Amino acid sequence: MNKTLNQKAWFFVIPVFALVAFNAVVPLMTVVNYSFQETFGSNVFQWEGTRWFKEILHSERFHASLGRQFIFTFIILLIQLPLGIAIALTMPKKGWGVPVCLILMSMPLLIPWNVVGAMWNIFALPDIGFLGNSLNSLGFDYNFTQQSGDAWFTTILMDVWHWTSLVVLLSYAGLNSIQPAYYQAAEIDGAGRWDIFRYIELPKMKKVLTLAILLRFMDSFMIYTEPFVLTGGGPGNATNFLSLDLVKMALGQFDLGPAAAMSLIYFLIVLLMCWVFYSLMMKDEGRT
Amino acid sequence: MAKITLKDLSHSYLTKQSNDADWALRGVDIDWKDGGAYALLGPSGCGKTTLLNIISGLLKPTKGKVLFDDKDITALNPVERDIAQIFQFPVIYDTMTVYENLAFPLKNRGLSKTEIDSKVKEIGEMLELTSTLNNKAAGLTADGKQKISLGRGLVRSDVNVIMFDEPLTVIDPHLKWVLRSKLKELHQKINRTMIYVTHDQIEALTFADQVVVMHEGQIVQTGTPVELFEKPKHTFVGHFIGSPGMNILPCEIENGQINFEGKILPNSTSIKKTNFSKTQLGIRPEFINFSDEGIEVKIKRVSDTGRHKVIDTECSSGSIKILANASAEIPSDSAHITFDQKYTYLYGDDWIIE
């Protein structure tokens, strides 16, 4: 293919560049700026070099919240992906069931995140909440505000409720794009249900699943609002995920420098993980 | 290997049918001889694919029976029927290698490893896929992928029929020719019944011994390419086959003779039945000649296709296309034409009157 060289194209990029600069590059640079300095307010800054980075990387508090974050993300991916695919597979392909299912599935995604947190908070309250009360009357000793296991259970359940639909919708779209001829050919070839899933559906869903994993990884790794409203990171530090911890450090303690350094490390981890996921999953694509 | 018989087959995708248009297939009756090469020809939406899917068992017909060697198999599923079908778009299993793709239908039928290996290698060679057997199937070009689809059908020695549903749609024009001759060659080599669905008359006429023409869910004619050309039994066959198609002109029946524009055309046998809602005469552009007398026409346009000239003319009953040699002299403005009597047919309600 011959590409025509046309430098004028740069002019078309300028508006986007300006917009991105304004809403992403400039704030990010401010964070970078903070991460190398110490401030006690009144806009007075003092150069600290890489001190905050070293401190954060060696801080046990950071290790703990990073660990919690990884465990949380790992668990929800492990639940939401298979569950989402399974639901998508059982959804009807035509008829009145399609819009009903799609609307039901979209509902959790449309609810504002703090509302989700508040809903689940009330829902799970051990005394008056439907979930909490039911569990207790069934004989379980359930109290998510006091027991860390219960807090984790509730947070994960909330996230599964809130976000599995995204995996479902993406998988469903992927499944629907498969030509009927594939199923017909498989039928003629004598393939069983598992073979159809393993050799047709799963490979054809690869792209949307990659997207689903990336989105679910990023969103769950940066989760803030829902656990903030539900548990506030507690009990103790049990559900104190990275972003909750970051906000506590930046706004609660007003440690702008360390918080900025932590943000950057956080950002780089997300970026790195996305890159790793993406290149692992797209490894074979180059050959096709 | 089997003879395939379709008995009074009708199919509708709707649960309730009120008129003819609700049926995708209407009363199809046909015998496919064992080992024959058939083409199923018709425009999009005429019911070809429906018919194919009923033979393969992917669809259950609303009415009628499918018989393999006189045994009713209407209720059997595709696996039990032992058929092979190749689809419009190459269907391959992306994550498997070419070898695994070809082995898949055999593996599912529980053949031993050594049997599978010898079969796959044999078919690989036949389709010239030997050098790519260990490659990922997803990396192949469209024609390579279509060869795999074909191979998965051929690899089973027991198939009753191999069906092709417009298999060359996504193939480049120069490769179409190669693959088509490959199919023809394969047919001669393995001698199995093949049904080839297409809307392309050239494809149908070059592949098949017998061409089955479908129109609005019905089989309108079955015959050799020559028969379809020389004696179309339905006006649809007349204008669908041939380029340009047959001229179909309104006419009257008078005392058993064809009356066209007030002129009685010579007719060998006299026509008895006359109660048609419309009568038409059909004449192919190839069989019309200029002469000193006959039907008066106005010449509208002459297009040169290289070997032939296509002449658009207009008479009072409508337009008539005439095909003449490129070297032929074409009268300008107005002319008289005569129809070759041997190839002039009369159609009553679109069906030939003999």
Consecutive H or E run containing A61: helix A60-90
CATH of the domain at B48: 3.40.50.300
**Domain contains B200:** yes
**Domain contains B165:** yes
- Chain mean pLDDT for chain A: 88
Q: Which of B59, B1, B56, B55 is nearest to B28 (CA)?
A: B55
Task: Identify whether residues B189 and B208 lie together within a single domain.
Answer: yes
Confidence of residue A55 (pLDDT cuts 50, 70, 90): confident
Query: What residue type is assigned to position B311 of the chain?
Result: I
Percent of residues, chain B, with pLDDT higher than 70: 97
**Domain contains B324:** yes
Nearest CA in chain B to A201: B93
Confidence of residue A284 (pLDDT cuts 50, 70, 90): low
CATH architecture for the domain at A49-282: Orthogonal Bundle (1.10)
Q: CA-to-CA distance for B196 and B37, rounded, in angstroms?
A: 8
Taking an 8 Å cut-off on Cβ atoms, the answer to whether A200 and B85 are in contact is no
Domain boundary among B183, B208, B235: B235
- Tens digits of per-residue pLDDT, B218-247? 889 999 888 888 899 999 999 888 888 899
pLDDT of A212 reads 92
Whether pLDDT at A250 is above 80: yes
Confidence of residue A100 (pLDDT cuts 50, 70, 90): very high
Q: CA-to-CA distance for B40 and B208, rounded, in angstroms?
A: 9
Residue B194 · residue B161 · CB < 8 Å? yes
**What's the farthest any 2 CA atoms get from each other in chain A?**
76
Tell me the mean pLDDT in the region A92-110.
91
Q: Nearest CA to CA, how far is A203 from chain B (Å)?
A: 7
**Domain contains B240:** no
Concatenated DSSP letters for A187-227?
Answer: HHHT--HHHHIIIIIHHHTHHHHHHHHHHHHHHHHT--HHH
**Domain contains B241:** no
Q: Nearest CA to CA, how far is A86 from chain B (Å)?
A: 21
Q: How far is CA B315 from the centre of its chain?
A: 32
Whether pLDDT at B166 is above 90: no
Q: Chain A residues with CB inside 8 Å of B161's CB?
A: none
Taking an 8 Å cut-off on Cβ atoms, the answer to whether B93 and A190 are in contact is no
Confidence of residue B134 (pLDDT cuts 50, 70, 90): confident
Residue B164 · residue B196 · CB < 8 Å? yes
Q: How far is the first Cα of chain B from the last one, in angstroms, to the nearest whole number? A: 37
- Chain mean pLDDT for chain B: 85
Whether pLDDT at B157 is above 90: no
Q: CA-to-CA distance for B196 and B207, rounded, in angstroms?
A: 8
Q: Which of A156, A145, A160 is nearest to A80 (CA)?
A: A160
Q: Chain A residues with CB inside 8 Å of B78's CB?
A: 184, 187-188
Domain boundary among B186, B201, B235: B235
Q: CA-to-CA distance for B4 and B34, rounded, in angstroms?
A: 7
Query: What residue type is assigned to position B108 of the chain?
Result: N
Q: Chain B residues with CB inside 8 Å of A288's CB?
A: 136, 138-139
CA B344, B348, B351, B354 dihedral sign is negative
Task: Identify whether residues B263 and B322 lie together within a single domain.
Answer: yes
Task: Identify whether residues B254 and B189 lie together within a single domain.
Answer: no
- Tens digits of per-residue pLDDT, A137-178? 998 888 888 888 899 999 999 999 999 999 999 999 999 999
Whether pLDDT at B127 is above 90: no
Q: Chain A residues with CB inside 8 Å of B149's CB?
A: 185
Nearest CA in chain B to A202: B95
Q: CA-to-CA distance for B102 and B25, rounded, in angstroms?
A: 33
Residues 6+ apart with CB under 8 A from B153: B84, B85, B86, B159, B162
CA atoms within 13 A on the CB side of B316: 7
Taking an 8 Å cut-off on Cβ atoms, the answer to whether A179 and B93 are in contact is no
Task: Identify whether residues B283 and B306 lie together within a single domain.
Answer: yes
Q: What is the extent of the structural domain holding B327?
A: 246-353
**Domain contains B199:** yes
Whether pLDDT at B137 is above 80: yes
Q: Which of A84, A94, A269, A74 is nearest to A162 (CA)?
A: A84
**Domain contains B155:** yes
Distances (CA, A) of B354 to B233, B253, B343: 10, 13, 12
Q: Nearest CA to CA, how far is A274 from chain B (Å)?
A: 24
What are residue B162's DSSP bridge partners? Answer: B84, B194
- Tens digits of per-residue pLDDT, A167-215? 999 999 999 999 888 998 898 888 889 999 999 999 999 889 988 999 9
Instruction: Count other Cβ atoms within 10 Å, centred on residue B106.
Output: 22
Task: Identify whether residues B123 and B103 lie together within a single domain.
Answer: yes
Q: Chain B residues with CB inside 8 Å of A200's CB?
A: 93
Q: Which long-range contacts (CB under 8 A, 24 or more apart) does A246-252 make?
A: none
Order of strands across the sheet that contains B63-68: B25-32, B4-11, B63-68, B71-72
For chain B, how many structural domains are there in total? Answer: 2
Q: Nearest CA to CA, how far is A201 from chain B (Å)?
A: 10
pLDDT of A288 reads 41
Is the CB of B120 inside 8 Å of chain A's CB atoms? no
CA atoms within 13 A on the CB side of B157: 7
Taking an 8 Å cut-off on Cβ atoms, the answer to whether A190 and B88 are in contact is no
Residue A243 tokens, joined:
């972003």
Taking an 8 Å cut-off on Cβ atoms, the answer to whether B108 and A190 are in contact is yes
Whether pLDDT at A1 is above 60: no
Is the CB of A127 inside 8 Å of chain B's CB atoms? no
Task: Identify whether residues B311 and B273 lie together within a single domain.
Answer: yes
Q: How far is CA A240 from the centre of its chain?
A: 16
pLDDT of A35 reads 86
Q: Chain B residues with CB inside 8 Å of A188's CB?
A: 56, 58, 78-79, 83-85, 105
* For residue A82, cis peptide bond before it (omega within 30 degrees of 0): no
Task: Identify whether residues B224 and B259 lie together within a single domain.
Answer: no
CA atoms within 13 A on the CB side of A11: 3
pLDDT of A287 reads 46
Residue A191 · residue A209 · CB < 8 Å? no
Domain coordinates in residue numbering, chain A: 49-282
CATH of the domain at B343: 2.40.50.140
- Tens digits of per-residue pLDDT, B175-218? 788 778 888 888 888 888 889 998 888 888 888 889 999 988 88
In three-state secondary structure terms, A84 is helix
Q: CA-to-CA distance for A127 and A110, rounded, in angstroms?
A: 28
Task: Identify whether residues B73 and B203 lie together within a single domain.
Answer: yes
Task: Identify whether residues B13 and B100 lie together within a single domain.
Answer: yes
Nearest CA in chain B to A196: B93
Consecutive H or E run containing B197: strand B193-198
Tell me the mean pLDDT in the region A264-283.
87
Confidence of residue B269 (pLDDT cuts 50, 70, 90): low
Q: Chain A residues with CB inside 8 Å of B84's CB?
A: 188
Residue B348 tokens, joined:
């009553």
Task: Identify whether residues B155 and B300 lie together within a single domain.
Answer: no
Taking an 8 Å cut-off on Cβ atoms, the answer to whether A191 and B104 are in contact is yes
Residue B313 · residue B299 · CB < 8 Å? yes
Task: Identify whether residues B133 and B189 lie together within a single domain.
Answer: yes
Nearest CA in chain B to A193: B108
Measure CB to CB from residue A190 to each of B96, B105, B138 and give the nearest one. B105
Task: Identify whether residues B81 and B116 lie together within a single domain.
Answer: yes
B240, burial (CB in 10 Å: exposed 0-12, middle 13-18, buried 19+): buried
Domain boundary among B176, B203, B235: B235
| Angle value at C-alpha A20, between A14 and A24, nearest 5 degrees | 155
Whether pLDDT at A242 is above 60: yes
